[in-house]
Amino acid sequence: MGNPDKEQPAATHRSTDADGPPAYTSTASSLPDAPPYEGPATGQRRMSTSSSVEEEGPRKPGKIPGAINSYWQTSMSRTFHLGEHRDAPLFAVKSGSGWTTKKPGLTIFDGPNSSDYPMLTGATRASMFGRKYDISLPPLANSGSSEYTKETISIGTSWSRQVHKFTIEVESGPKGETRREDFEWRSTRGDEVRELGSKWLRGWKLVRLSSEAFRGPGGERHARDEGTTSDGKEIVAVWAHNSSWSMTKAFKFRFRGSALAGELGERFDLMALMTGLNMWHQEVAASAATSGAAA
């Protein structure tokens, strides 16, 4: 048996492209097929009431709460909800096939249904082998633009394991200043996932790679500070699968550290949630395809 404290890479479909993983790039350009961004829907800006779903804790400022679940409407529906509780949906999500570079595989709407609220963010496959995804985001504040912009998340390797990397603006001053920082999702079975509940046994942690995120020497789990990676970086979010593969609650997401405190800003919040949700959606789609082929 393996060492339970050692992080294990999640099962995933890898490209057999002879060139290996693509170099990571991030761009910010207008998406010609995206509608003009009209700002948050009236009355839809919310404050979190807990740091984790169905548990009391500190409040997190911003549109996205500190912890959020996915809730399927029916087992056959391509639309599901995100929220702290099933009976109080915050956002509607429409899922596509996820296998085309033409249309979004996932779209999050700025309210509880897709017909009355505008798109908040979306994920579209940017490479045929699924090693890059374009994430549509509202324009930067004070940019003077009304068009959505694009950021890219890429699959790469770090220390012989798969990681999902992206760069995004984070808040860096009291007057709305921003700077771009690098982040990566790493697979984990650590305490961060177990804290989500006994059913959440495998997931991914979002690591802040900048020097501002250095928290100490790292090391083995028993020796390092809570919320710190083995290389001394800060963990700012985590998501996990429900091990029972419930069709009503299958995905759980939680901010941590500086992200839970609202210090990184709403643009980071959107990117973190969308990339985590898209990774989960692709794993579910791949699992369903494998099950269908076996049948």
**115 touches 124 (CB < 8 A):** no
Average pLDDT over the chain, rounded to whole?
Answer: 75
Least confident among 44-58, 152-166, 173-187:
44-58
- Is 155 inside a domain boundary? yes
- What does the pLDDT read at residue 38? 52
- Is 111 inside a domain boundary? yes
Residue 191 φ/ψ, nearest 5 degrees: -60, -30
Q: pLDDT confidence of 109, banded at 50, 70, 90?
A: very high
Q: pLDDT confidence of 219, banded at 50, 70, 90?
A: low
Residue 294 has pLDDT above 70, yes or no: no
- What does the pLDDT read at residue 25? 37
Tokens of 267: 């643009």
| Percent of the chain scoring above 70 in pLDDT | 64
- What does the pLDDT read at residue 28? 37
- Is 240 inside a domain boundary? yes
- Is 28 inside a domain boundary? no
- Is 44 inside a domain boundary? no
**Owner of token pair 């006994």:** 198
Q: pLDDT confidence of 216, banded at 50, 70, 90?
A: low
Tally of residues, the chain: 295
DSSP string, 65-124: -SEEEEEESSTT-SEEEEESSTTS--EEEEE--S--SSS-SEEEESSS-TTTS-EEEEEE
- Is 37 inside a domain boundary? no
Q: pLDDT tens, 232-277?
A: 899 999 999 776 555 566 789 999 999 999 999 999 999 999 999 9
H/E stretch holding 173: none
- Is 57 inside a domain boundary? no
Tokens of 108: 């999050």
Q: pLDDT confidence of 61, banded at 50, 70, 90?
A: low
d(CA 266, CA 259): 9
β-bridge pairing 91-95 and 119-125: unpaired
Full domain range(s) for residue 268 = 67-294
Q: pLDDT confidence of 10, banded at 50, 70, 90?
A: very low
Average pLDDT over residues 74-90: 85
Q: pLDDT confidence of 74, banded at 50, 70, 90?
A: low
Into how many domains does the chain fold?
Answer: 1
Average pLDDT over residues 92-109: 81
135: buried, middle or exposed (CB in 10 Å: 19+, 13-18, 0-12)? buried
Residue 19 has pLDDT above 80, yes or no: no
d(CA 20, CA 62): 39
Q: How many CB atoms lie within 10 A of CB 118?
A: 17
Average pLDDT over residues 129-141: 89
d(CA 23, CA 25): 6
- What does the pLDDT read at residue 197? 73
d(CA 30, CA 27): 10
- Is 60 inside a domain boundary? no
- What does the pLDDT read at residue 136? 95
Residue 11 has pLDDT above 50, yes or no: no
The strand pairing partners of 182, in sequence order, are 167
